[in-house]
Chains A and B, each alone.
Chain A
Amino acid sequence: MFALAPECTISDIAPLQAGLTGLLEHPSSVTLDIEAVQRIDTAAMQMVVAFVRERETQGRQVQWRGNTSVFGSAARLLGLAPMLHLPDCSDERS
């Protein structure tokens, strides 16, 4: 399992990239914990989508854990939710 940090933004994206890259070759299903995410930007969302897609092309699963409100709202506003199969949730300002 990999837990996303509360602040997932471009100025501090290195840990996210390192964490996700380390999970790319993980043979079994990977769970991303998005519970703690308080703020996320497009750069970070783009990275998560790239991760999910690359896992998908390898036939490997990604599972989600935690409250999706901030993450889900960002995914929906960016039109990325269908790629991640995240449910709709209410919008809020960050």
Chain B
Amino acid sequence: MTIDLTQFHDAFFEESFEALDSMEAALLKLDIGAPDKELINTIFRVAHSIKGGSATFGFSDIASFTHSLETLLDELRSGSMQVTLAMSDLLLKSVDVMRAMLRAVQAKQPIDAQRVSDLQFDLELMIAQKNTPAVAVPAPAAAVVPAAAAAPASLATPAGAAAPAASVPSAHSAATADSNQPGWQIVFRPFRELFARGNDPLRMMRELADLGELTVTVNADSLPPLSKLDPLQCHLAWTLQLRGDVSEEAIRQVFEWTEGDCELEIRAIGADADSAASTTLTEAAAEALLTAPGLLTAPAMPAAPAAQPADEASKPEAVAPAAHAAAAKEATVATLDSGSIRVSVEKIDELMNTVGELVITQAMLSQLGTTIEGATAEKLRSGLGQLERNMRELQETVMRVRMLPITFVFSRFPRMVRDLAQRLGKQIDLKLTGEQTELDKTVLEKIGDPLVHLVRNSVDHGIETPEARVAAGKPAAGTVHLDASHRGGNIAVEVSDDGAGLDKDRILAKARARNLVGPNDSLTDEQIYDLIFVPGFSTAEKTTDVSGRGVGMDVVRRNVKELGGKIELRTERGKGSRFIITLPLTLAIVDGQSVAVGTETYIVPLISIVESMQLKTSNVSRLSGRGEVFSFRGDYLPIIRLHELYGIEPRARNLQDGLIVVAEGDGRRVGLFVDDLLGQQQVVIKSLEANYGQVEGVSGATILGDGSVALILDVPGIIRAASLRAAA
């Protein structure tokens, strides 16, 4: 029988990458010499789970590598080896190698075997040196299998009966385990697909047995006869008692990888097991509560008895009297704190799209409502007002689903700063704040690279060497600070350092040397600092492989602008620099200014607009071959007539009859000539590419309240298109 496990590979990869992130974070928190035992356990569990999953899916290279890694971690866990700086480096490199291996396997590309075997050699060498310090050749990493007598022939217990409990003493505490100790009762009911998702209960039992004295009772009631058994499905369930000084969190971590693939109940038991008080719901029961109508307002939500089967617990008649409400609420919170479900981005985008359609329909109804007269008109308008409020809430709620904490981006920096500082011989403290600030997944994915540039620049050019800092009266260790916060309807992400700050005179001198600034031009500080965002501009005295090639800051600004955001710089010589990136919360909605051109309506994103004005003819000049320009705050800006660009019959042809919207894109300003301004509103962006095709100068479309379609203008694209027309 051939079993297709490939359908579960994606989930395995996704979970493995997340686990490696947490492993890396835990490694970075490890104190050399005095590591936190719980951190080591976390690191060990990641290696152990990836090893098990890899073996299940037949990724033997990964399984073999993680076995060596796990062996080393096991030595750390048992205290027979100590965490050293060299070991910490080796473990971090192992994370990199595991990531690379997983990526290669995921992409069906060959693994870099040399890199893997080199590191595996180092890992095994480190273990071997611990075991036999005089011998440099690594010992094989195979586990020692103790001999035991062969079992006599026997018959199985009667079918359908749960097997008697088997007590499994802890590997570490077998001698001291006391069956009268307090502990936990764990009911573990895997769903059928548990095996196929790369989970092996045997692995979990081993981990639990390592935590304390484990008593195992298996329920094989639903195990079919062999002739009817689908080996891919799990038909066993377990009730476990784990005694010893074990935290609930430690137990939950053992089952971390089974989230969504099982029902799990964990309840504390005292020395006398009968005095146990249930503190949790079954996950299925909790989910049933969550999905039950009126959950949020129901006065009484019951805690399903822990021993009750989930299907019974989820029945409506399981609802308990109101007196149990408070306990139930606590229980729900306790269980759901760590609960989450994995939903594909496509599903959320579909939901967003549908909500976007609803918003449009609601806007159409609201517009229609204003035209209706009669006795019921007032009631209708009141209802429409309520609908509008509900729609806004719904839209915000759905958008929040796409939101992820910025810690997903920030988490890469501790490792990066540590490695860079080591290479550059600097001492740097990285401070992260506001990591829980949430922003749209798409924005989050695209802000990573700009932040990497900024942090690298801070580490490489901002923070001085320890000697230079001490000479300047500063502490030897510099600080790089990343912060995220909500500001109005936007997110502000700041990268600041207490380093040398920017040298205004050097920037200006360099700009003059490159003819970016005239010899007699006088610039404000802001204009001078703005020069670092010009393509190819770098003041670094020497380029390094870290930064300073002059290709970074212009890319940073362009990326930020593509996200609809902006970047500002504040710096003080000798005291440090601060880059402030302001981003929209989401890319699904844009704040726009509606403008009229002929019978058409266009949306100009507010972030691109500098101001709107009526032109006086005296301010307009016509340049030969370059079209019309107008004077604006000492500059001459080209005029782009939108009706000409889009071939529309306008209402206003004379400049003084219409309005000019001064807009900015790619560092250039232009005047967009339109018939009229209609109003500002938030609009839901519909992809033009997905529904039609790419159009230069248009970033998307939206549907207005009256049902008509309006194009959302892409100002940088319009400027590029207009430049091409002028050049032609």
Contacts and interface: CB of A to CB of B under 8 A. Distances in A.
A56 B155 contact: yes
Contacts, number: 188
Interface in A35-94: 38-43, 45-47, 49-57, 61-70, 72, 74, 76-87, 89-94
Q: How large is the interface on B (under 10, 10 to 19, 20 to 34, 35 or more residues)?
A: 35 or more
Interface string B203-238: 101100100001011101001111101011011101
Given A42-B195, A42-B200, A50 B168 contact: no
Interface in A11-32: 11-14, 17-18, 20-21, 24, 29, 31
A50 B229 CA distance: 8
A64 B154 contact: yes
Nearest to A84: B156
Contacts of B206: 77, 91, 93
A21 B154 CA distance: 19
Contacts of A91: 168, 171, 206, 209
B151 A68 contact: yes
Contacts of A31: 153
A11 B231 contact: no
Given A56-B155, A57-B225, A89 B218 contact: no
A90 B437 CA distance: 49
Contacts of A45: 202
A50 B225 contact: yes
A91 B1 CA distance: 31
Interface stretch (B158-166, B316-324, B602-610): B158-166
A76 B168 contact: yes
Interface residues of A, number: 61
Most buried by B among A45, A52, A82: A82
B226 to A, nearest CB: 4
Contacts of B148: 67-69, 72, 87, 89-90
Interface in B35-81: 55-58, 70, 74
B206 to A, nearest CB: 6
Given A24-B226, A79-B238, A52 B202 contact: no
B224 to A, nearest CB: 7
Contacts of B155: 56, 61-62, 85
Most buried by A among B55, B148, B206: B148
A41 B151 contact: no
A83 B153 contact: no
Given A41-B56, A53-B159, A65-B150, A81 B166 contact: yes
B134 interface: no
A89 B151 CA distance: 10
A77 B209 contact: yes
B153 A82 contact: no
B368 interface: no
B145 A70 contact: yes
A78 B206 CA distance: 9
Contact of B234 (A43, A56, A65, A79): A43
A92 B209 CA distance: 11
B283 to A, nearest CB: 20
B145 A92 contact: yes
A22 B226 CA distance: 11
Contacts of B157: 82-83
Contacts of A77: 168, 202, 205-206, 209, 214, 216
B543 to A, nearest CB: 49
B156 A83 contact: yes
Contacts of B196: 10
B202 A17 contact: no
Contact of B226 (A39, A50, A70, A92): A50
What 3 A-B pairs are tightest by C-beta distance, nearest first? A85-B154, A63-B153, A79-B216
Given A39-B55, A68-B151, 9 more contacts: A10-B200, A11-B5, A17-B226, A41-B200, A42-B236, A64-B153, A69-B146, A72-B151, A80-B163
16 contacts: A11-B55, A11-B56, A20-B226, A24-B227, A49-B156, A57-B159, A62-B154, A64-B154, A77-B205, A79-B217, A80-B218, A81-B163, A82-B166, A89-B148, A92-B146, A93-B70
